[in-house]
A and B are shown apart, each in its own frame.
Chain A
Amino acid sequence: MTYEVIAIGASWGGLQAVGTLLEGIPKEVDQAIVVAQHRSAESSRGVLESLLQLHIERPVCEPGDKEPIEACHVYVAPADYHLLVDGGRFALSIEAHVQFARPSIDVLFESVAEAYRDRAIGIVLTGANEDGAAGLAAIKRNGGVGIVQEPKTATKKAMPEAALAAAQADAVLPLEGIGPFLYGLCCV
């Protein structure tokens, strides 16, 4: 199976978790990586990308509307927008908050599920709410792979627990285990 996109959702404690996860992904994993990290609408532009960029070599950016999705890149949902994928490109939206969040992980994951179906991988990390659960279930329903951070290793376990309750995950792993698992899925 060839996977095309890896979608990551994180909330409380996510900044550090996403950094650690990205650091642990071997460079042979060349799929596009799309991150929805909950944050304040006022977060200064560019700060999250620069922080993540410190961890890794592959380019990190905030996509603009209709920007093409490219392999080997890490894309971070802009603050105060929902990020969706649509025909190989990104699409943005300022519809109402979903699960009190914009960007919402469910919105990203559901669009990834439909666009990429069995070529999608979804990963739910730490958080204190239930965003991402419905989205991960959609990825699974459409034939994709679901990975959840092992709740006891998460800063906040509510979000991974909700995802596990909603979807049959293919792997439940600590952050350090996710990179090698992705390598196994994508490169072996």
Chain B
Amino acid sequence: MALPVERSEELELEQLEVELLLEGIHRRYGLDFREYAPASLKRRLRRRMDGEKVETVSALQNLILHDPAVMERLLLDLSVNVTAMFRDPSFYLAFREKVVPALRTYPFSRLWVAGCSTGEEVYSLAILLAEEGLSDRVRIYATDINQAVIDVARLGVFRLDKMQEYTHNYIRAGGSRSFSEYYVARYDGARFAGSLVDGVVFAQHNLASDAAFNEFHVITCRNVMIYFAQSLQEHVHRLFYESLAMFGVLALGQKETIRLSPHESSFEELNAEERLYKKVR
């Protein structure tokens, strides 16, 4: 079944349009998506095309270059990931087991949640640290490329209908209290105690273009780099390497790896299954 010539041309043309759009976004807004993984990026562009009711990537480009509000909406499509509190409970168990004891040895330490999106992981880690009695000794820095999702994260209101799932995750993650102590139900939202994130520094940071900004004892970046092409992943691995203190810990998503990265040899596996790596040189 040969591919009709027109269809093949259509696909090539769309590829060209995507490249031009990303170049345009970079030059107009300083946001660099040129090294994002193409397949999922295209899905998100198509979602925005449907949302803006346009048929072609070029038509979307026209809107984006002339109307920053459309760019903001695209940025939401590109930066919101549908994650959950205590996603992968076994990761949090491993964190308690392998990372918390190391954190106890420091009088004060810094943890960076890179790509915090709407904050589910930030609140999960804040709860975990509170239960381990480390709230006052560990400062969380939570960053994302998109200011709008950071504002959502800061508010700490999550969907009430998710609480059953999150409670279940929390228990399996080794939670030692009643999960409902941490939030107040209001309308269809669950508002988490502001005291959990009092000490959290929320800031905009672009992993593709911004430099290291502090030295950290732990960096978590889970299911963020899966949207990046390999070249950009390598760039970010270097950024994390430079941002970690010696013996600092890097946490990746369960299907991500530091293997194949030029920085592989600088890390040792702390827990292979849960993708916890320790910087050793």
Interface residues of A (CB under 8 A from B): 1, 45, 62-66, 78, 80-82, 84-87, 89, 91-97, 107, 110-111, 114-115, 117-118, 141-145, 170
Q: How far is the CA of A80 from the CA of B2 in the complex (A)?
A: 35
Q: How far is the CA of A45 from the CA of B89 in the complex (A)?
A: 12
Q: How far is the CA of A95 from the CA of B117 in the complex (A)?
A: 12
B256 near A1 (CB under 8 angstroms)? no
Tell yes or no: B7 within 8 A of A by CB.
Answer: yes
**Chain A residue contacts of B11, Cβ below 8 A:** 114, 117, 142
A92 near B2 (CB under 8 angstroms)? no
Q: How far is the CA of A86 from the CA of B210 in the complex (A)?
A: 26
Interface residues of B (CB under 8 A from A): 1-4, 7-8, 11, 37-40, 42-44, 81-83, 87, 223, 225-227, 230, 233, 253-257, 260, 273
A87 near B256 (CB under 8 angstroms)? no
Q: Which 10 A/B pairs are nearest by Cβ-Cβ distance?
A: A143-B3, A118-B3, A84-B39, A86-B39, A111-B39, A93-B40, A92-B226, A91-B37, A65-B226, A96-B82
**Chain B residue contacts of A80, Cβ below 8 A:** 87
Q: How far is the CA of A145 from the CA of B273 in the complex (A)?
A: 37
Please give 15 more A-B residue pairs, beta carbons under 8 A apart, in addition to A65-B257, A89-B230: A45-B254, A64-B257, A66-B260, A80-B87, A82-B40, A92-B223, A92-B226, A93-B43, A93-B227, A94-B81, A95-B43, A107-B43, A142-B7, A143-B2, A143-B7
Given A94-B223, A96-B82: A84 and B40 interface contact (C-beta under 8 Å):
yes
Q: How far is the CA of A65 from the CA of B80 in the complex (A)?
A: 19
B38 near A86 (CB under 8 angstroms)? yes
- Most chain-A CB neighbours within 10 Å: which of B1, B227, B253? B1
- Most chain-A CB neighbours within 10 Å: which of B2, B37, B223, B253? B37
Given A85-B39, A114-B11: A66 and B230 interface contact (C-beta under 8 Å):
yes
A81 near B2 (CB under 8 angstroms)? no
A78 near B2 (CB under 8 angstroms)? no
A64 near B256 (CB under 8 angstroms)? yes
B4 to chain A, nearest CB (A): 7
Q: How far is the CA of A89 from the CA of B223 in the complex (A)?
A: 17
**Chain B residue contacts of A107, Cβ below 8 A:** 43
Contact of A117 among B8, B226, B254 (CB under 8 A): B8
**Chain A residue contacts of B40, Cβ below 8 A:** 82, 84, 86, 91, 93, 95
**Chain B residue contacts of A91, Cβ below 8 A:** 37, 39-40, 226
**Chain B residue contacts of A1, Cβ below 8 A:** 1-2
A94 near B2 (CB under 8 angstroms)? no
